[in-house]
Each structure stands twice: as C-alpha cells, then as structure tokens.
Amino acid sequence: MKNDAALLIVDVQNDFCPGGALAVPDGDRVVEPLSRAAGFFSAAGLPVLASRDWHPPVTTHFAPYGGAWPAHCVEETSGAAFHPALRLPEGTMVISKGNVPDTDSYSAFDGQSADGKSLADLLAALQVRHLYIGGLATDYCVRSSALDARRAGLEVTLLTDAIAGVDIVAGDSEKALDDLGRAGVMFGTVDEVIRLISG
Ligand code: VGL
C-alpha cells in the first residue's frame, strides 16, 4: 500500500457541468470515476481534497468586468455547489479559490481550506508526495493545478478517465496533456491507480 498518496478533485461543480453557466462538454462524465476514486482513497486512509471555484459576484475573471468568462461559480450559489452525484467522503478537505476579485486562480494551489491553509501547506502536513488529480477542466484548472503540483515537487498522476476539457480552441485539452507530460506528470485510469496503490 502506497501511503504517501492523496486525491485532488478539481472543480466538479454544477456550473462546469451540463446545464451550468460555463458547462464543460460532457463534464459530468467525471463524477462516477471520481466518486469511485474518492471512496477508495478514503477507505485506504488516504486524504481526499476537493477544490472549488468560489468567486465573488464582481471579479475581473468575469467578462462584464474585463475577464474571459461568463459569470460562474459565484460563492454560495447553486452553480458553485459540487455536482449532486459527486460522493465526497467524510473528512474531504475543501479548497476554495478565486475568491480574490482581481485574480483568475485557475490552480487549486492558489486556494485555501476553510481554516485558511494553503493546499501546499496541507499536503506537506499530511506528508503527501504523490498527488492523483482529476476533474474540470483539463485545459484550465486541472492543467494549472497539476503544473503547480509539479512545481511544488510532488509526483503527479492525472486520472485520464476522470477529466474533461472546455476546448474553446479545438485541441486545447490535447495540448494541455502534452504540456503536463513534458512537466513529468504521469497518466493512468482510476482503475489502474486503484490497483497500483492497493498493490
Ligand atoms: C475553469 C474556466 C474558467 C476551470 C475555471 O475550472 O477549469 N475554467 N474558470
């Protein structure tokens, strides 16, 4: 059993899923594999962390105020809630990001837990050396979080069947995966990872 691993679920929120304000095509396909992964990590005594975009109503991240995106994941709204079918185990650590009005904060490493700890500090305190990442969106917050995890010196595995991309420009997600591979990120499906960690 690998005991230095943790799972990071990135931004599996209503607004990034079909019907949401900034829906990722097929975004909800990540919900089942991530729920399964979270159940496994938790049962194995390994940390589960879930990041969420948590924006104020007025932020330069949103198009009306100079940003690139329609308003989405406004704090305390139903659009900012985790997808209702996402099963987050008891003890899941929630990391909120994007709550500073003049930042984009794509990366979960820009966020903080409810008690104000950075993700990097939390992972260090938990002695996590290997972060397994899935969620939304491949070409933005997943990419940015995985790159920051590498910069923080962590081993990183991307859960290939638990990600989905925006692809505003066709090919963005593929390019993101190339960037991540070059940064030393490894790739595996949820089932492969469960087998590997159990072994
Ligand atoms: C995201 C676009 C804008 C993401 C967040 O979670 O990947 N994408 N804000």
Q: Which residue, by CA, sits nearest to atom 6 of ligand 1?
A: 141
**pLDDT tens for each residue of the chain, 199 residues long:** 678 999 999 999 999 999 999 999 999 999 999 999 999 999 999 999 999 999 999 999 999 999 999 999 999 999 999 999 999 999 999 999 999 998 899 999 999 999 999 999 999 999 999 999 999 999 999 999 999 999 999 999 999 999 999 999 999 999 999 999 999 999 999 999 999 999 8
In the chain, how long is the greatest CA-to-CA distance?
A: 51
* Residue 3: predicted pLDDT: 87
Please give the tally of structural domains in the chain.
1
Identify each DSSP E strand in the chain by its residue range: 5-10, 48-53, 93-97, 130-136, 155-164, 186-188
Which of 53, 97, 104, 110 is catalytic? The answer is 97
Gap between the Cα atoms of 197 and 69, Å rounded = 38
Which atom of ligand 1 is found nearest the CA of 143?
A: 7
Which of 28, 139, 141, 148 is catalytic? The answer is 141
* Annotation says 17 is catalytic: no
Beta bridge partners of 195: none
CATH of the domain at 81: 3.40.50.850
Q: Which domain holds residue 194?
A: 5-198
Residues in the chain: 199
Mutate to test the pocket of ligand 1, among 12, 17, 69 (most ligand atoms within 8 A of CB): 69
- Do 54 and 97 contact (CB within 8 A), yes or no? yes
- Do 72 and 79 contact (CB within 8 A), yes or no? yes
Whether 140 is in the pocket of ligand 1, judged by its Cβ within 6 Å, is yes
